[in-house]
Amino acid sequence: MSDRIFAGIWLLLCVAGLFIAWQIQSEYSYEPVGPRPFPLGIIGLMALCALALLLRHPDTVSWPHHHVLQKLLTMVIVLLMYAWGFEWLGFPVATAILTLVIGILFGATIPAAGISGAVLGILLWYAFDRLLDVTLPLRRLAELTEKRWIPGYIFLRVLRWQ
């Protein structure tokens, strides 16, 4: 039953995606077929897979335990927070926090997850920004090193009422 619920929701999302993809217009032609066919093709294939899932004979499936559902919900919330804080925190910091939390969810120790997050955030930023020339946000990380973020500086400003 859970397969059919998933397939039904997926099919509805695909129909909405097809409607949105059909409205894509380009003011200039930079490809022979334009920007519309790729999203239509991908979403069409996803809709066919959802339809196949919906129509096939269902397997006996049991819902995951409460603990697993709690971890999944936590992961969805962390991913939404990652998307929200991506520009605000910068790519390396946001990725490090995401990796830390997901590592802890999968049973890593806090030091191992923290080190992995820091290394992954820095290496991925370097790979995308320097090697692939994909600009990723680093704005807030640079602001953390400014004078106003020095520990005690904010406290001193409050004391002086500035």
Q: Print burial letters for 33-54: b (CB count within 10 Å at least 16), e (below 16).
A: eeeeeeeeeebeebbeebeebb
Measured from the Cβ of residue 79, the count of other Cβ atoms closer than 10 Å reads 13
CA 135 → CA 29, 69, 73, 80, distances in Å? 25, 35, 30, 21
- Residue 3 — pLDDT band, cuts 50, 70, 90? confident
Is the pLDDT reported for residue 63 higher than 50?
A: yes
Compute the average pLDDT of residues 132-145: 67
In which residue are the tokens 């899932």 written? 53
Residue 14: in which H helix or E strand, if any? helix 2-22
Give the model's pLDDT for residue 160.
46
- The letter for the amino acid at 1 is M
Compute the average pLDDT of residues 132-137: 80
Could you read off the pLDDT of 67-107 as tens digits, one per residue? 888 999 999 999 999 988 888 888 888 999 999 999 999 99
Q: What residues does each domain of the chain span? A: 2-55, 66-144
Could you read off the pLDDT of 82-91 as tens digits, one per residue? 988 888 888 8
Is the pLDDT reported for residue 23 higher than 60?
A: yes
The percent of residues above 70 in pLDDT, for the chain, comes to: 80
